Amino acid sequence: MSSMQKFIEACLFDAATTIAKARKRGLRITAKERNNMATSADFASESLIVGRIRKSYPDSAVLSEESYLETDLSSGSLFVIDPIDGTHNFIQGIPLYGVSIAHFSDGKPTAGGIYLAPQKMLFYAEKGKAATLNGKRISVSNKARLEDFFLLCDSRLHTIDDQGYMPGVLRLERMSQHTRFLGAAIYDMGYVACGMADAEFDFKLKPYDFAAAAFIVERAGGVVTDFDGKGWDLSTKQFLSSNGKQHQRILEVLHSKK
């Protein structure tokens, strides 16, 4: 196990413990804007992770959802953190939330881990190595027919409608086996990476939402692009992650207007 893997995994586990303790103390909730909340647990998780980075990787830049939003995405060493992905689920007591940490070098991913805390599912990937779930190698599904696909979709229906993709999403829902909305990008992508879902699409993500999870999907043998079929980077906002079998067809259906 590399030193980076040990570091990221330790941070993920300890952040999850910190989140649980913060909930027991009683959550303080802050509205950053409408439909965008942060809790005392988000800040506690972020503080722990950033403190560890400052100690172990003092020359690294940090991008994190709550307090570290201004940074150079092309830094030679950059950690991208989501202290709690699925904060709204977490606030409501819905057990679909987790922690995400990725490392980038010159704009390219080198390592990433996500921890789905309620399910105790630890995903990890590193440059040149296969993705793992709780230490065991994983791969995307091998389903070939879109009609058999289990799809996961961004839960912000107003964003889908505003961007004009609702007809395409409805067509995909009718064509596939099932479509589900989980409300956390690391779940959507993590489940694609381990074959529990066959494809997922998100319409308006920030770097900390996807930095680790998109990399994990790719290291698990999947395909991750924007809605034009182009490879992703930290500036990408729209995502299709899939097992690759129907990637182009899904993009075509997403763009359909009727």
d(CA 213, CA 87): 17
Does 120 have pLDDT greater than 80?
Answer: yes
What is the tens place of the pLDDT at every residue in 128-184? 999 999 999 999 999 999 999 999 998 888 899 999 999 999 999 999 998 999 999
What is the tens place of the pLDDT at every residue in 10-58? 999 999 999 999 999 988 887 766 666 788 999 999 999 999 999 999 9
d(CA 194, CA 189): 9
146-255 shares the fold of 3-137: no
**Within the chain, how many helices (H) and strands (E) appear?**
8, 14
What is the tens place of the pLDDT at every residue in 78-100? 999 999 999 999 999 999 999 99
pTM, entire model = 0.94
State which H helix or E strand residue 62 sits in.
strand 61-64
pLDDT recorded at residue 35? 64
Which residues share a beta bridge with 78? 61, 104
What is the tens place of the pLDDT at every residue in 208-243? 999 999 999 999 999 999 999 999 999 999 999 999
**What is 146-255's CATH number?**
3.40.190.80
Question: 58-62 — which CB contacts under 8 Å span 24+ positions?
Answer: 60/103
Query: Binning pLDDT at 50, 70 and 90, where does residue 73 land?
Result: confident
pLDDT recorded at residue 50? 96
pLDDT recorded at residue 72? 81
Question: Which token pair is 243?
Answer: 């097992």
**Residue ranges per structural domain of the chain:** 3-137, 146-255
Question: Which token pair is 209?
Answer: 């939402």
pLDDT recorded at residue 28? 87
**What is 3-137's CATH number?**
3.30.540.10
| Contact residues for 145 (Cβ-Cβ < 8 A; gap 6+) | 246
State which H helix or E strand residue 141 sits in.
none
